Amino acid sequence: MKPVVRVASGQGFWGDWLAAPQRQVDGGPIDYLMLDYLAEVTMSILQKQKERDPKMGYARDFVGAVDSVLEGIVRRGVRVVANAGGVNPHGCADAILALAEQRGVRGKLSLGVVTGDDLLPRLDELMAAGHPLASMDTGEPLATVRDRVLSANAYLGSGPIVEALGKGANVVITGRSTDTALTMAPLRFEFGWGDRDWDRLAAGIVAGHIIECGAQCSGGNCLHEWRTIPDLANVGYPIVEANPDGTFAIVKHPGTGGRISVPSVTEQLVYEMGDPHAYITPDVVADFTTIQLEQAGENRVRVFGIKGGPPTDKLKVSIAYRAGFKAVGTLVYSWPDAMDKARLADRVLRERFKMLGLTFEAILTEFVGVNSTHGPLAGDGAGADEVQLRIGVRSPDRTMVERFTRELAPLVLNGPPSVTGFAGGRPKVEDIVAYWPALVDKTVVSPVVEIRS
Amino acid sequence: MKVRLVDIAHARSGDKGDTANVGVIALRPEWYPVLVRELTVERVAAHFRGMITGSVVRYDLPNLHALNFLLHGALDGGGTLSLKTDAQGKVYSTALLRMILDLDAAEVKARGLPAAGD
């Protein structure tokens, strides 16, 4: 058994820094590169892409990421674990194998492909068998939006990833795995943690939570003493340096920017936190009130003391459904009396909606530069040098939203004065794909692991 | 004596559906008890009046000198439904830090708290 295993985070979401994976693999010794691509509604975007082209439906950035670290995988034995498969893990594997062919390393890659999370083809069967897939937010059964569902994926845990690694995969591609499993699974595999070793499994989950958002624990988006955080241009993404007993340190490669400190790691620990006593995953329920942090050197935080307990008999399911249309438009008003002009423009617009018979499920006006982020806690905008009027509407009726997008530009000539900032043209009508979190019995989901080379 | 929350704590926020969470962390361990006592659910709910439609829940993390607040109904439906600039609740953190605490001068002195305007 290795005494220390290093899992590096190279991507915190689909759209994160393209340079990060290679910097993690080339910047110093690591054993695993973990890449997290899937946010809550990403699966539905991928589902739409797959409907247009059956070869698509995965995070295409992943192909470039693997290309940038091929040397490390092939020559230095770095293994990659990513949920880049989206709704088409085998399509993703095809693309990686094609890349390997092109680069002359086809025989050197062994892909572990994890599927079984996709419940879309089985939804009616599941509902008929008495699984309501009720919304965790509202309690409504899925039947209320069934005809608008675009994707449905169960969050899989660490098991199938551990299995793929055990079968020799050096690149593991999953669909909807939990973000934290991507980090915990390699540790469980390397250290042979049992499936009831609650404290260590929980430690692996906490390690995953800390690094799943990339640089957000190593100086990125860090409020604490933000002015003094060095060299963000060259920010080092985090690495978990784990021990068999479940203790670990968060570190980054030498010579990189950013900062790893107790405050920077604490900010990430509380990010998107619910009940800290029960951070529920398919493998274990971790207790975040047991986490101990200690600065153990420059840019090195030791994490220990973590306790966990048995998981529930459910898996979370991420369901996406069509929920109407929206559009958001903006205009900029300048001094003098910028805020008064923007307010008048908003009143004029709303009056015209009435005259035109436009009704919306929601209209939201914000004054950017004054109150768009802190609402009534912020000032009233008196004396503001410039204000961006930002107005959004939402409706199940596309024609209403479409008509709204025609109403902003006329204000430039027929509304309050000192207005500019309309160069972007008419706002775009967006399809709203909303998120429906649900639970399903674990027994009805069967993960599948295939090895391809 | 007035003490600005932003001078004694840092924070990060995020979302889960239509709920924003704000984790607020004492800048010094000895200031954590002030957060525990002052940042009651009622006080935080009053602070965010007009910004959230649901309830406020608080969890304590003494191990991290942090409190975690769930602000329900904070995001105009949340995620992709929301029309808000801050649809993901990313800056509810700094919105909470706008709070001004009114503390005993003796406590401010004893705990070495920075008074507003210092």
For every residue of A50-88, DSSP letters joined together read HHH-TT--S-THHHHHHHHHHHHHHHH--EEEE-TTTT-
Q: CB distance A272–B93 less than 8 Å? A: no
For every residue of A108-139, DSSP letters joined together read G--EEEEE--B-GGGHHHHHHTT-----TTT-
Give pLDDT, residue A424: 77
ipTM score of complex: 0.98
Band of pLDDT at residue A425, cut at 50, 70 and 90: confident
Pick from A276, A375, A394: CB nearest B51? A375
Domains annotated for chain A, with CATH where assigned, are 5-117+155-312 (no CATH), 322-432 (3.30.70)
pLDDT at residue A69 is higher than 70: yes
How many structural domains compose chain B? Answer: 1
B interface mutation test: which of A155, A259, A272 has the most B CBs within 10 A? A272
Q: Does any domain span residue B94?
A: yes
How many Å lie between the alpha carbon of A429 and the closest alpha carbon of chain B? 12
Q: Is A177 exposed, middle or buried (0-12, 13-18, 19+ CB in 10 A)?
A: buried
Band of pLDDT at residue A40, cut at 50, 70 and 90: confident
Pick from B66, B85, B94: CB nearest A390? B85
pLDDT at residue A212 is higher than 80: yes
In angstroms, the CA A176 to CA A156 distance is: 6
Q: Does any domain span residue B41?
A: yes
Q: CB distance B83–A326 less than 8 Å? A: yes
Q: Does any domain span residue B114?
A: no
Q: Is the Cβ of A293 closer than 8 Å to some Cβ of chain B?
A: yes
Q: CB distance B76–A372 less than 8 Å? A: no
Amino acid at A450: E
In angstroms, the CA A359 to CA A356 distance is: 9
pLDDT at residue A196 is higher than 90: yes
Q: Does any domain span residue B82?
A: yes
Residues in chain B: 118
Q: Does any domain span residue B53?
A: yes
Of all residues in chain B, the percent with pLDDT exceeding 90 is 95
Closest CA to A218 of A451, A10, A2: A10
> What's the pTM value of the predicted model, to 2 decimals?
0.97
Helix (H) or strand (E) holding A188: helix A181-191
Q: Dump pLDDT digits (tens) for B58-110.
A: 999 999 999 999 999 999 998 889 999 999 999 999 999 999 999 999 999 99
> CA nearest B86 in A: which residue?
A373
Q: Dump pLDDT digits (tens) for A324-360.
A: 999 999 999 999 999 999 999 999 999 999 999 999 9
Q: Does any domain span residue B55?
A: yes
- Joined tokens for residue A114: 């994890």
Give pLDDT, residue A292: 98
Give pLDDT, residue B118: 58
Q: Note down the domain range covering B14.
A: 2-107
Give pLDDT, residue A380: 93
Q: Residue A185: which residues within 8 A CB-CB, separation 6 or more?
A: A81, A158, A159, A161, A162, A165, A172, A204
Q: Does any domain span residue B9?
A: yes
Q: Which residues between 28 and 67 in chain B have a beta carbon less than 8 angstroms from any beta carbon of chain A?
A: 47-51, 59-66
Q: Decide: A100 and A80 in contact? Cβ < 8 Å.
A: no
pLDDT at residue A307 is higher than 80: yes
Q: Does any domain span residue B27?
A: yes
Band of pLDDT at residue A148, cut at 50, 70 and 90: very high
Give pLDDT, residue A42: 86
User: What CATH number is given to the structural domain containing B24?
Assistant: 3.30.70
The pLDDT of A308-327, averaged and rounded, is 96
How many Å lie between the alpha carbon of B72 and the closest alpha carbon of chain A? 10
User: What are the DSSP E strand ranges found in A243-385?
Assistant: 248-251, 279-280, 285-287, 292-295, 301-304, 307-309, 314-334, 362-368
